[in-house]
Amino acid sequence: MRRILSSVTDGRGFDILLVSITMIFLLALSGMPLVYNVVMSFQEVDMFNLNTFSRPYAGLENYREVVSQPEFGLILKNTAFFVFGSIAGQFVLGFALAMFFMMRFPFAATIRGVFLVSWVMPGLVVGALWGWILAGDFGVLNAILKGIGVIDSTMFWKSDPRLSIWAVTIANIWLGLAFNMMLLSVGLAAIPRDLYEAAELDGANGWHRFTTMTLPMMRSTIGAVLALGLIYTLQQFDLFPAITEGGPANSSNVAQYWAWQYSFLLFDFAKGATVSVMMLGFVLIASIVYVWSTRHEVRG
């Protein structure tokens, strides 16, 4: 006992204590639910056995039912569109802005920092703002687009099934753009300036410098940013209830919102868990890419 006590005040026990309390908490609130999720996806869960632990085993029945839903294909397509559209938009615009702000002019860092305000705002508020901007007849985006002659008829962003997924994707690009830019700026700032000067002396023009210096030097940063983009996009939830509620007719529904609808609108927790487990597959792939890209950070 005394040995343990002295280890806690002076030795390894101190470290073990600090880590283990947190790890136990995380295990209880993240690790176990994760396992429980997988378990539930193989069970029959209804309002009567919700409170018990022994539920009938359902095998792959839940998976079969989820896959055979008529909206399954549409939601898969929407999720892919939302994820890749968001990542592409955030990344390309974020990279362009990051490059722009690397140039030396007064207040560059401050103005760049202001962009990040989109990232600290509650997702639901961002959803509300974009819901109003994208409104059909009175939305300001339509007015602006008409004003500069891009469109001539009103676009019903939220209620047109062909456009509704665009509405949430645009809002999400706005939301994540600043974070992408910030991470890419860190990567850009880490490239030594004299490399560019050397390349310039060697006769490389701007485009060459970008493709032969910037891109290769940024490879691990880009990998991490894309992986984080995938992770954060799959985490994005708040925009859906705020803008389209997945509608009309599931035309803007995605896996993460569908899973929630199953559990909390239809109270079919088993199906909710099943959709979640399917999503986890993608998340795991993304996190492996992320951890791999930041592995030198991990090694610290």
Please report how close the Cβ of residue 128 comes to other proteins at its closest, in angstroms. 5
Q: Is residue 187 part of the contact set for other proteins (CB under 8 A)?
A: yes
Binding mask 260-279 for other proteins (x = CB under 8 A): x--xx----x--xx--xx-x
212 alpha-carbon distance from chain centroid: 30
In whole angstroms, how close is the CB of 27 to other proteins at the nearest point? 9
When asked if residue 107 is in the footprint of other proteins (CB under 8 A), the reply is yes
Helix (H, G, I), strand (E, B) or coil at 55: coil
At 43, give phi and psi (nearest 5°): -120, 165
First to last CA, the chain: 35
Q: Tell which one of 177, 180, 226, 251 touches other proteins (CB under 8 A).
A: 177
Closer of 86 and 221 to other proteins (Cβ): 221
Q: Which residue of 5, 31, 73, 151 would you call a contact of other proteins, by CB under 8 A? A: 31
Tokens standing for residue 222 = 């880009």
Task: Pick the closer one to other proteins by CB: 89 or 123.
Answer: 123
Q: Is 231 in the site for other proteins (CB under 8 A)?
A: yes
- Binding to other proteins by residue 186, rule CB under 8 A? yes
Q: Which of 54, 70, 138, 162 binds other proteins (CB under 8 A)?
A: 138
110-129 positions binding other proteins, by CB under 8 A: 110-118, 120-129
Gap between the Cα atoms of 290 and 261, Å rounded: 29
CB of 236 to other proteins, least distance (A): 8
Q: Does residue number 105 form part of the binding site for other proteins (CB under 8 A)?
A: yes
| 18 binds other proteins per the rule CB under 8 A | yes
Residues 266 and 183 sit within 8 Å (Cβ to Cβ): no
Taking the complex as a whole, the smallest distance from the CB of residue 81 to other proteins amounts, in Å, to: 17
Query: From the CB of 35, what's the least distance to other proteins, in Å?
Result: 8
- Count of beta carbons in the 10 Å neighbourhood of residue 21: 10
How many CB atoms are located within 10 Å of the residue 242 CB? 20
CA separation for the pair 188, 98 (Å, rounded): 8
Per CB under 8 A, does 92 bind other proteins? no
Alpha carbon distance 183, 119 (integer Å)? 13
Which amino acid belongs to residue 105?
A: F
Nearest to 84 by CA among 245, 216, 282, 261: 282
Closest CA to 82 of 140, 143, 154, 167: 167
33 binds other proteins (CB under 8 A): yes
Q: Does 76 sit near other proteins (CB under 8 A)?
A: no
